[in-house]
Amino acid sequence: MDREESANYQLGNKRLYQVVALRIAQMIEAHANDPSWRLPSERELAEELQVSRPSIREAVIALEMRGVVEVRGRAGIVILPRKTNELSFDVINTDIGPGPFELLQARLAVESGAAAIAAQRANSYDLMRLEDCISGMQQEGSSPAHNEKNDREFHMTIAHMTGNAIIVSITEALWAQRDASRMWKKINEHLHGIAIRPTWIGDHHAILAAMKLRNPDAAYKAMARHINNVSEELLQADERRRLTGSED
C-alpha cells in the first residue's frame, strides 16, 4: 500500500489499523460536544489520514468491534452513544490481531515470490499435487471446510516446492494468523462461496498453468492476481455485511 509509506506514521509495535483507529477515535473525541458533526466517509478519511481504503476499513471494523461506531449501509459510519463519559483509548489501542487486508498484503509479498521460485523447481509430482487440490475444490456439493482444506494445501504445496524452509514457515504462520483473526472471521461470514468459486478456481488454474510452463514471471503475476482478487472480494463481502446490518 503505497499511501501508507507517505503517511509517516510512527507505528512502533502497533499495527497500522490500531494507529488509524486511534486517530479516528481522537477525531470523534474532539467533536464530542458538537451534535451537528458527522464522521467523514471512508474515502474522505483515507484522504485526510493519507492511508488506503483497506486500512480505513480495518480501523473502522476495529472500532465497530469495540462499540465505538456502527456502519449502517448507506447511512455510513454512525457514532454510537457512549457507555461512559469518555472514550477508553486504552481499549481502542488493544491489539485484536492482524487485519484481513494486512494479512493479504503480507501474503501478496511472500506467496507471489514463492510462486516464482516454485515455478523454476516444479516437478511432475508437485504438479500432480496441485492438480489434485484444484480437483478437490471443484467437487460438486463440497463443504466450505473441504474447499478451505484444498485451498490451503494448494498454497502450502507451492511454499514447499520452493525448497526454502523459511518461506514454508512464514506461509504457515500467515495462514495460522488468518485463522485466528477476529476481523477476518467477521468479514468471511459474508463471503459468497458459490458465487466466487469459479473465479478463485480459475485463479488456481492460472497459477498451475504457469508452473507447468516453468515460467517464474507468469507464476508471480498469477499468484498476485489471485490474492488481489481475494482482497477485492473481501471488500465486497464487508459491503454486504454492512448493508444487511449483521452483527457478531
| Number of domains into which the chain is organized | 2
Q: What is the pLDDT of residues 227-240, one digit of tens each?
A: 999 888 888 777 76
Q: Is there a contact between 122 and 161 (Cβ–Cβ < 8 Å)?
A: yes
Q: Are 7 and 50 in contact (CB under 8 A)?
A: yes
Residue 149 confidence (pLDDT) above 60: yes
> Within this chain, do residues 121 and 235 fall inside the same structural domain, yes or no?
yes
Which of these three, 60, 92, 124, is where a domain ends? 92
Per-residue pLDDT, 207? 98
Same domain, 112 and 8: no
Q: Are both 63 and 104 inside the same structural domain?
A: no
Point out the least confidently predicted range of 27-41, 156-170, 175-189, 206-220. 175-189
Q: Please tell me the pTM assigned to this model.
A: 0.73
| Mean pLDDT, the chain, whole residue set | 83
- Decide which of 92, 122, 146 is a domain's last residue: 92
174 shares a domain with 62: no
Same domain, 78 and 104: no
Confidence (pLDDT) at 92: 54
- 52 and 158 together in one domain: no
Are residues 24 and 51 located together in one domain of the fold?
yes
Residues 110 and 77 in one domain: no
Burial class (CB in 10 A: 0-12, 13-18, 19+), 169: exposed
pLDDT given for residue 242 in this prediction: 66
Where does the pLDDT of residue 6 fall: very low under 50, low under 70, confident under 90, or very high at 90 and above? Answer: very low
Q: Is the pLDDT of residue 116 over 50?
A: yes
CB 177 within 8 A of CB 97: yes
CA distance 7 to 56: 13
Residues 232 and 115 occupy one common structural domain? yes
Q: Is 18 exposed, middle or buried (0-12, 13-18, 19+ CB in 10 A)?
A: buried
- What is the span of the domain harbouring residue 69? 2-92
Averaged over 1-20, what is the pLDDT? 62
Residues 122 and 237 in one domain: yes
Q: Which CATH number do you get for residue 73? A: 1.10.10.10
Query: Which CATH number does the domain housing residue 186 bear?
Result: 1.20.120.530
Cα distances from 13 to residues 18, 19, 21, 36, 175, in angstroms, run 10, 10, 15, 36, 21
The string of pLDDT tens digits covering residues 78-95 is 888 876 545 555 555 565
Q: Does 133 lie in the same domain as 51?
A: no
> Which of residues 39, 70, 92 is at a domain's end?
92
Q: Which three cell numbers stand for residue 223?
A: 499468484
* 154 shares its domain with 74: no
